[in-house]
A and B are shown apart, each in its own frame.
Chain A
Amino acid sequence: DIQMTQSPSSLSASVGDRVTITCRASQGISAYLNWYQQKPGKAPKLLIHGTISVQSGVPSRFSGSGSGTDFILTISSLQPEDFATYYCQQTYNTPFTFGPGTKVDIK
């Protein structure tokens, strides 16, 4: 199975901050990488697909980059509604696997 890791596991930030979250795959996954946002008590929500494509309806402050084994989710200017947990997911091989998550909370 492809193992996904994320760093940091949590971070504290202020509204307006630029936030970056890193995801690493245990082997190359080309661009088969998605990012999801999950708020407490809610289902995950697709943010970024295919490494760089922003899902319809998702604000443009969210962006993704990377390829191979290293990927980044960037929030250019953190908003109050962005405080949540973020997960990466590889869909290069089954079983599709998720990272352990990065919790973003208020500083």
Chain B
Amino acid sequence: EVQLVQSGAEVKKPGESLRISCEGSGYSFSNYWITWVRQTPGKGLEWMGRINPRDSYANYSPSFEGHVTFSVDKSVSTAYLQWSSLKASDTAQYYCARVRVNGNYLDFDYWGQGTLVTVSS
């Protein structure tokens, strides 16, 4: 059974750093890109970018580039989303998902359960 399991909720202060994780199981982790999606009540679902576990190549949505970093550790089938300096506006639910490529089409077929990040002074 394919599963993506994310790390638990976090409460941080502005300016602090944070790394959250997403562990894949039940499939060949290196064969599927991992994507990250932010969800807030105000802006809904926002695609942040994706990373290829095979070579760690990542591309970022312009809205997030420079503010977050994706990484992977293939040895433990885990992807990471990292901030070096959090802002209050980073408060959100964050999801990882597996990217499936089906012919010319692409979708997010399995999702993690989400990680709630709260940034408050």
* Interface of A toward B, CB cutoff 8 Å: 31-32, 34, 36, 42-46, 49-50, 53, 55, 87, 89, 91, 94-101
Q: How many angstroms between the C-alpha atoms of A30 and B32 in the bound complex?
A: 24
Q: How many angstroms between the C-alpha atoms of A49 and B105 in the bound complex?
A: 8
Q: How many angstroms between the C-alpha atoms of A46 and B37 in the bound complex?
A: 14
Q: A43-B112, A43-B114 given as contacts; is B47 within 8 A of A49 (CB)? A: no
Across the interface, A43 reaches (CB within 8 A) one of B100, B104, B105, B113, namely B113
Q: List 30 A-B contacts (CB under 8 A).
A: A32-B104, A32-B105, A32-B106, A34-B107, A36-B108, A43-B97, A43-B111, A43-B113, A43-B114, A44-B37, A44-B45, A44-B111, A46-B108, A49-B107, A49-B109, A50-B102, A53-B102, A87-B45, A89-B45, A91-B105, A91-B107, A94-B59, A94-B61, A95-B49, A95-B61, A95-B62, A97-B47, A98-B46, A98-B47, A100-B44
Q: How many angstroms between the C-alpha atoms of A82 and B77 in the bound complex?
A: 33
Q: Which residues of chain A have C-beta atoms less than 8 A from B63's C-beta?
A: 95
- Asked if B102 contacts A44 (CB within 8 A), the reply is no
- Asked if A49 contacts B114 (CB within 8 A), the reply is no
Q: Which of B95-121 contact A (CB under 8 A)?
A: 95, 97, 100, 102-109, 111-114
* Interface of B toward A, CB cutoff 8 Å: 37, 44-47, 49, 59, 61-63, 95, 97, 100, 102-109, 111-114
Q: How many angstroms between the C-alpha atoms of A43 and B94 in the bound complex?
A: 10
Q: Which residues of chain A have C-beta atoms less than 8 A from B108's C-beta?
A: 34, 36, 44, 46, 89
Chain B: minimal CB distance from A65 (Å): 15
Interface centre among B49, B104, B107 (most CB of A within 10 A): B107
Q: Which residues of chain B have C-beta atoms less than 8 A from A95's C-beta?
A: 47, 49, 61-63
